[in-house]
Amino acid sequence: MDDHEANPLLQPWDTPHGLPPFSRLQAAHFQPALEAAMREHRRELAAIAADPAPPDFDNTVAAFDRAGALLGRVAAVFYNLTASATSPELQAVQRALAAPLAAHHSAVYMDAALFARVAALHARRDSLGLAPEALRLLERLHLDFVRAGASLSPAAQQRYAEVMQSLAQLTTRFAQNVLHDESTWHLALQGEADLAGLPEALRAALRQAGAERGLPGPALTLARSLVVPFLTASTRRDLREQVWRALVGRGEHAGEHDNREVARDILRLRNEQARLHGHACYADFALVDTMAGNRAAVQGLLDEVWPRARAGGARARAARAAQMQAAPARAAGPPGAPIEPWDWRFWAERVRRERYAIDDAEVKPYFELGRVAAAAFDCAGRLFGLRFEPRADIPVYHPDVRAYEVRDADGTLRGIFLQDNYARPNKRSGAWMSALRWQSRNARGPDGRVGAQLPVILNNNNFARGAPGEPTLLSLDDARTLFHEFGHGLHGLLSDVRYERLSGTQVLRDFVELPSQIFEHWIAEPEVLQRHARHWRTGEPIPAGLVQRLQRAQRFNQGYETVRYTASAIVDLAVHALPEAEPPADLCAFEAGLLQAQGLPHGVGLNHRLVHFQHLFAGSGYAAGYYVYLWAEVLDADGFGAFREAGSAFDPAVAARLRRHVYASGNSVEPGAAYQAFRGRAPTVAPLLAKRGLVPEPLTP
């Protein structure tokens, strides 16, 4: 099918704000549309490369930035649907097109004539009289070409393109295998005995999950918003163990959805990719293009945090062991049984209740989903003057999705925001931000003129929906996740740059979590809690005493969380730092051996095991890059201090600097310089350690 007339993806979108006409889209439209869009992109690039005029910034660099608009538009719809509302038909297209899309990308950046023009300009970049943002784009573009293999020999280029295509196919398969294991597993809960210890809100969510799967009773799925509260509350140690094993076993089942060999194949190809670039290992290649810059800088941060986290984990373990001693065997296991990973959250909750008198069932009624979303909008209003106006006429891809026009204080439209908050079986797990369109002032409009393009930004969460007629109540962690993704969303919406390549979240990857993580601070601010954390039934604000207890409890369990996270980051860096061409024969054994050598406390577990570590293997964006959350946390903890020093979480001068230098500047400024411009100095690690409750502690080497 190659009929443009009949394919809504290839026609102009005459919907409100030019959003995709989702209701008219079918899976069968994507392959022909993506193929046509790739052809159009190639034609546009061929015209740039064949331009008889000598290369200058506008006819080469700015023109390159404008090219591929149709492909960008169609691919964005495609990737968003395959993540949030997929189907077997879309998955088939995804598998069929992974290699051609990767080949297209390789062909673009290995085009010798195009690269010659970019390289010629890059060589005399300092004498071109470019504005700082234009110079940054030229440098960025040149680096994009070099890192995609443009300066390799022709033979190496051919092999490089093959490697990239294979990687694209393998990462697609990896993600689909994880989704398969997540969407097929459930545990039907039979009767009161299986629900022992569970609060009513969780029971309702489990009944809802069962109903969504066509089961007569409640069911536990692997949705994080069900698993975590279940592990926290269930007194059925045997069921906790079952769900834990299902969770950590994702991707590790013999058969057609086994990720063990897929991950090894990816590692082998990444090592080859790095070698083609002259690096000894993939981590070295990946880290060149980051704020950290090299492996030593990342290792330095991990080394600073790891022993403190381990010590925190050991203290927490002792507290849980004391709790277990006094508990009945059904919840604790036989006398003297060690704390297993499926015990950890359960006993942590007991300790937390005892020490801080906090019970999730007491907290959640104050965090109804709609109110939490409104709190995020209100904070964006108080900090940056933004207004979020719901619009029912903007097309969306699923009835769960809410659409908003986003306006500045003076009424100027800044962009469109879509929020998709609920877990569904055809949606990948986790929470993320994406864009249907990036902000730019270098976009070619339908009339052919170059001008402004407003961003269309999405947030996806995976909250378990309340039962029919019941509200969706969030934990404080869930509310924090919503704020996190909303921070990414603001990074896309507040972007104010000329060139699309430098827009929004398209920054260096160890800077990208700063705007999201710093925004998490506001949900925990007493002022915000008092205003927005209101009981869903009575409208009463959260009691001040509970807020104080929440504040005190905030650092609780940070040892556990930090150990789990840091251990995953250590595994990521280690597995990508292996210089051998052939990856370890048994990745699971490699992982276990490494963690034993690092002294991971028994019973803690990892955030992600390699066999389902989507950050690493569902794409390359976070490969050798799981550390970025910690790196950005150094920045967000240090950065939020600016508000503390100013005496208000909404200090207008600090907020204005934060908007200008962090949320608006995209990649138009080197990230270290952007941070300094906001904070007035370089960041320090101490606020991170304090925030996580990891100081003052003696270091145990």
Residues that bind Zn ion (CB under 5 A): 513, 516
For the bound state, the minimum distance from the C-beta of residue 515 to Zn ion, rounded and expressed in Å, comes to: 9
* Nearest-10 Cα torsion for 78, 83, 87, 89: 40
Both tokens of 279, joined, read 């690096």
CB 631 to Zn ion: min, Å: 12
* CB closer to Zn ion, 72 vs 430: 430
In whole angstroms, how close is the CB of 93 to Zn ion at the nearest point? 27
Q: Is the peptide bond before 696 cis (omega within 30 degrees of 0)?
A: yes
Helix (H, G, I), strand (E, B) or coil at 407: strand
Q: Which residues pair with 406 in a beta bridge?
A: 388, 415
Beta carbon of residue 531, minimum distance to Zn ion (angstroms, whole number) = 25
Residue nearest to Zn ion (CB): 516
What does the alpha-carbon distance between residue 105 and residue 165 come to, in Å, rounded to a whole number?
9
Catalytic residue among 485, 500, 513, 591: 485
Q: Which is nearer to Zn ion, 30 or 627 (CB)?
A: 627
Nearest to 207 by CA among 194, 338, 578: 194
**Least separation in angstroms between CB 662 and Zn ion:** 14
Q: Which residues of 146-179 are buried (b: 16+ CB within 10 A; e: fewer)?
A: bbbbbebeeeebeebbbbbbbbbbbbbbbbbbbb
Residue labelled with tokens 């959805």: 257
**Catalytic: 485?**
yes
432-437 and 456-463: which strand pairing?
A: antiparallel
Q: How far is CA 100 from CA 46, 96, 106, 150, 161, in A?
A: 18, 8, 10, 18, 11
Nearer to Zn ion, 420 or 513 (CB): 513
354 HSE (CA, 13 A, CB side)? 10
Which residue lies nearer to Zn ion by CB, 115 or 417?
417
Phi, psi of 387 (to 5 degrees): -125, 135
Closer CB to Zn ion, 301 or 433, in the complex = 433
Q: Which is nearer to Zn ion, 166 or 516 (CB)?
A: 516
CB closer to Zn ion out of 259 and 568: 568
Q: Which phi and psi (to 5°) does residue 453 adopt?
A: -125, 125
User: Residue by residue, what is the 3-state secondary structure of 593-660?
Assistant: HHHHHHCCCCCCCCCCCHHHCHHHHCCCCCCCCCCHHHHHHHHHHHHHHHHHHHCCCCCHHHHHHHHH
CB of 484 to Zn ion, least distance (A): 6
Rounded-to-integer distance, Cα 6 and Cα 11, Å: 8
Q: Kindly state the smallest distance separating residue 588's Cβ from Zn ion, in Å.
A: 27
Q: Could you list the active site residues?
A: 485
